[in-house]
Amino acid sequence: MPDDIEEALATVGPRLRAVRERRQATLAQLSQASGISASTLSRLESGGRKPTLELLLRLARAHEVPVDELISGPATSDPRVPPQPVTRPGRTMIPLTRRPGGLQAYKVIIEPGERQHDQQSHEGYEWMYVLSGQLRLMLGELDIVMRPGEAAEFDTHTPHWFGSAGERPVELLILFGPQGERLHVRARPRAARPR
């Protein structure tokens, strides 16, 4: 095996440990998330076992990082996220994150006068915070108006729609993630009332 490959493999163990510790995960938690036994994870981190591509892919998925971060470490690059707005009629979404998978953050601007659409449901979990204007949120049978400084959090399996509730645009921050990735500020959901 060429020296540069041996050298790269020798640094994987410490990188695996550093990523796990940065995420404040135990070997048992990582084992559950990746499907790799805790003893194998320990041997990978200590250098007692060489990583295979399959193991690296599973660990990258569990940590929600690109595989090259586990192999060569994150490159020092410009940390700014270049704005690449996505514009749809009446809405502009500006991505605030650029990593694949995991929680995604957006600034959303919704123009007034957008007609109400049917409520949609999909996989995931969403958190929104109103920066300015008034937001109309329809969530299942709820129909509420949110004002600046108010936040909402919900499972996107629940049918929902949101738009501007006033005569001015509404600006909000949205965090969207896979099902189960909830924020720490989440309040315990209320039990559904019998009808």
Does residue 195 lie in a domain region?
no
163 and 97 fall within a common domain: yes
Alpha helices, DSSP H, located in 23-120: 27-34, 38-46, 53-63, 67-71
94 and 56 fall within a common domain: no
- Mean pLDDT value across the chain: 81
Number of domains in the chain: 2
Q: What contacts 61, CB < 8 A, 6 or more positions away?
A: 34, 101
Give the pLDDT confidence of 114-141 residue by residue, as tens digits.
777 788 888 888 899 999 999 999 999 9
- As given in the structure block, the two tokens for residue 86 are 């996505």
Give the pLDDT confidence of 151-182 residue by residue, as tens digits.
999 988 899 999 999 899 999 999 987 654 44
Distance of alpha carbon 150 from alpha carbon 128, whole angstroms: 8
Q: Say yes or no to pLDDT of 191 above 60.
A: no
Specify the higher pLDDT residue, 72 or 57: 57
Does residue 96 lie in a domain region?
yes
116 and 153 fall within a common domain: yes
Tell me which H or E stretch contains 129. Answer: strand 125-132
Does residue 80 lie in a domain region?
no
Last residue of a domain, one of 41, 71, 101: 71
Q: What contacts 131, CB < 8 A, 6 or more positions away?
A: 107, 148, 171, 172, 173
Last residue of a domain, one of 21, 48, 71: 71
Q: Say yes or no to pLDDT of 184 above 70.
A: no
Give the pLDDT confidence of 78-107 residue by residue, as tens digits.
667 677 888 888 899 998 887 666 778 899
Single out the residue of 154, 61, 28, 169 nearest to residue 144, CA to CA: 154
Question: Whole domain around residue 118: which residue ranges?
Answer: 86-177
CA end-to-end distance (rounded Å), the chain: 69
Does residue 135 lie in a domain region?
yes
Output the pLDDT for position 176: 81
Q: What is the CATH number of the domain that holds 63?
A: 1.10.260.40
95 and 155 fall within a common domain: yes
Does residue 183 lie in a domain region?
no
